[in-house]
Amino acid sequence: MNRQAMQVSPQIVEPAAPHDSGEVLLNAFRDLGIEFIISSPGSEWPPLWEALARQRRDGRKGPVYIDCGHETLAVGIAAGITQITGKMQAVLLHAGPGLAQGAMAIGSARDLEIPMLVMSGESSTYGEAGFDPGAQWYRNLSVVGGQQRIIEPMVKWAQQVPSSETLHGCVVRAGELAQRVPKGPVYLTVSMDSMMQPAKQPRQLATPPTPKLRPSAADIGAVVQAIRSAKAPLIAVHNAGADKEAFDALVELAECFAIPVTEAPGAYFSNFPKGHDLYLGTNVRPETIGCDLVLLVENATPWYPPSNFPEDVAIISISDNALKGHLVYQQLGASQYLEGHVASTLKLLTEELRSVGTDVDEIKRRRTHFGSLHETWLASIADARKRASGNKSITVPLLVQTLQRVLPDDAAFVDETIVHRPLIREHLEWEKPHVYFRSPTGLGQGVAYALGIKQAAPDRTVVMLIGDGTFMYNPIVPALAYAAEQGLPLLIVVLNNKKYAVMEELHNRFYPNGTARKEDDYYGVHLQDNHYERVASVVDGFSQRVEEISDLENAIRNARSAVADGRTAILNVIMPEPVPFK
Ligand SMILES: Cc1ncc(C[n+]2csc(CCOP(=O)(O)OP(=O)(O)O)c2C)c(N)n1
Ligand SMILES: [Mg+2]
């Protein structure tokens, strides 16, 4: 027995079960409609665990609780689930170090506006009041100024629950706050002393749905007027595709007025069907294709450098909240904002356009014109693919094409690559939403995000595309354990160029004639040729190294069968060819 375990005092009396505050907390999660509580556990949670054990014993309905072995994993899984279902989940972490460890992923959830309820515990009496929480709360887990100090910059709101009497109200309100615009993680710390208190059960009230806000009819009318009087409008979308309703509404709007669509280079989702004749690829600027109006759809950073917005082009921003509080600096160049629920706003625009009527001949003409630009884009993809098939080594076009040919049609792809990312976005095909997900920024979150997506869509094949350097930043062992325990196998493909290629690229950009280049003496670049795939053996997963083009298809087939048998598969694909960083 370890020392800490021996220090637990025998004087703890079990609170008046089932009416203790652990039950209150579980009731608050039920009232918020939380489906999953994902935890990287700590010693503050026995009151909740008791309530969960009673929930199971009594066959009551309530959230599913799942443990995992890393904070990045807990937060990333919750984030992935929400991206698929649109529903907020709860994450329980350990105080102090647990919060610090989870901070990167929590900050990413804030940047991506993913609602999430994050909680950890604390002690308010340190064993001085008859209740012994364990000496670790005194010796190891103090945070001067309060636990919330650690996480405040990463969340939209952080607070300590004042008492057991306010626990239910605090948790429900925090959950509601997380779902208000801008959505994001909120944090609550609750003392064990509060949680162990016998408590009166609150009145059960299911939380009402978060209202969807909409722009005024006058603003919709003004934008419709601007669209109608433009020569040619363009839609530039960044982050709408997590919401399937927005994806469909965007197609309707584009078709209604023959508006071509371009996606932002760093888009986090598949936002528009690629086979559609109005899809023009990534990063097309309006003035280069003769457009004089651009509708930025959930697109917060459209220009680079930031003030390099096009001249003589009207810019209209459509977003839940266009001015992002997490950005230090932002330039949209917009002459008008439509703020409110994006899918609803797009539908309102389409309805209004239809009701005021459109010039059928002009729309036909525009559709044919932009359709020919779509054909040009398609031809450039086909050309890149042809060149890739003549390459000596495996490249992105070949890899992506082979994956999509061999895997089931409904495969979802999570992308945590760096130099390969633009090519992956370019060559992956999708006609529906939820096919492509870029992993949140900050290396190490991709495998967690992929597991969350798999958790919410267990029947789909979820493929993780990941750089070799990035693979090392991920909590792979706990992720593999989670996948095995939960029956959620992933197909992980390591795009192995044996280096941090991006660092080399950037170094050369800054010092084209520098010493590092001349002497071939780079720093922050080299990686050895590790056998990444072998990690799969920790859970008896499938592993294969793939070096030759001729082996690729079979390797993917083998991996597919392993995943179908419930085993995570890791393919270590050697891809030495340099790729420019865009
Ligand atoms: C948590 C974190 N630490 C460090 C970085 C800096 N970083 C950005 S890309 C990168 C290297 C990625 O290497 P790899 O996955 O092999 O991709 P490649 O550069 O080869 O495309 C690093 C270390 C980061 N983005 N996040
Ligand atoms: Mg690499």
Closest CA to 475 of 63, 59, 76, 121: 76
Whether residue 190 is predicted with pLDDT greater than 90 in this model: the reply is yes
- Give Cβ neighbours of residue 469 (< 8 Å, ≥ 6 apart): 418, 443, 499, 500, 527
> Which of 473, 523, 573 should be mutated for ligand 1, with most atoms under 8 A from CB?
473
* Beta-carbon-side half-sphere exposure of residue 417 (alpha carbons within 13 Å): 30
Spacing of C-alpha 51 from chain mean position? 30
Distance 422 CA to ligand 2 centre (A): 14
Measured between alpha carbons, how far is residue 420 from residues 111, 352, 434, 442, 494 in Å?
A: 23, 41, 20, 16, 11
* Beta-carbon-side half-sphere exposure of residue 432 (alpha carbons within 13 Å): 8
- Ligand 1 atom showing the smallest separation from residue 497 Cα: 20
The Cα 530–Cα 521 span in angstroms is 21
496 lines ligand 1 (CB under 6 A): no
Q: Which residue has the tokens 């991506």?
A: 112
Whether residue 507 is predicted with pLDDT greater than 80 in this model: the reply is yes
Q: What is the pLDDT of residue 125?
A: 95
265 lines ligand 1 (CB under 6 A): no
Q: How confident is the model at residue 357 (pLDDT cuts 50, 70, 90)?
A: confident
The Cα 5–Cα 315 span in angstroms is 62
Closest CA to 118 of 148, 84, 81, 138: 148
Q: Which domains does the chain have, with CATH numbers?
A: 4-199 (3.40.50.970), 217-377 (3.40.50.1220), 390-574 (3.40.50.970)
Whether residue 16 is predicted with pLDDT greater than 90 in this model: the reply is no
Average pLDDT over residues 184-202: 90
Whether residue 408 is predicted with pLDDT greater than 70 in this model: the reply is yes
* 91-114 residue pLDDT tens: 999 999 999 999 999 999 999 999
Lookup: tokens for 158: 């952080």
Average pLDDT over residues 76-83: 98
Q: How confident is the model at residue 497 (pLDDT cuts 50, 70, 90)?
A: very high
Average pLDDT over residues 222-233: 96
Q: How confident is the model at residue 81 (pLDDT cuts 50, 70, 90)?
A: very high
Q: Coil, helix or strand for 372?
A: helix
The pTM of the full predicted model, rounded to 2 decimals, is 0.95
443 lines ligand 1 (CB under 6 A): yes
Average pLDDT over residues 350-379: 95
- Ligand 1 atom showing the smallest separation from residue 473 Cα: 1
Q: How confident is the model at residue 418 (pLDDT cuts 50, 70, 90)?
A: very high
419 lines ligand 1 (CB under 6 A): yes
> Do strands 314-319 and 279-282 pair parallel, antiparallel, or not at all (unpaired)?
unpaired
Q: How confident is the model at residue 389 (pLDDT cuts 50, 70, 90)?
A: confident
Q: What is the mean pLDDT of the chain?
A: 94
Lookup: tokens for 500: 């941090």
Distance 530 CA to ligand 2 centre (A): 12
Q: How confident is the model at residue 19 (pLDDT cuts 50, 70, 90)?
A: low
Cβ atoms of residues 236 and 296 within 8 Å = yes
45 lines ligand 1 (CB under 6 A): no
Cβ atoms of residues 111 and 330 within 8 Å = no
Distance 500 CA to ligand 2 centre (A): 4
Q: What is the pLDDT of residue 199?
A: 81
**Cis before 265 (ω within 30):** no
> Which of 108, 416, 500 should be mutated for ligand 1, with most atoms under 8 A from CB?
500
Q: How confident is the model at residue 206 (pLDDT cuts 50, 70, 90)?
A: confident
* HEC letters along 376-435: HHHHHHHHHHHHHHCCCCCCHHHHHHHHHHHCCCCCEEEEECCCCHHHHHHHCCCCCCCC
* 243-260 residue pLDDT tens: 999 999 999 999 999 999
Cβ atoms of residues 35 and 62 within 8 Å = no
Q: How many CB atoms lie within 10 A of CB 578?
A: 12
Q: Which residue has the tokens 């529903």?
A: 87
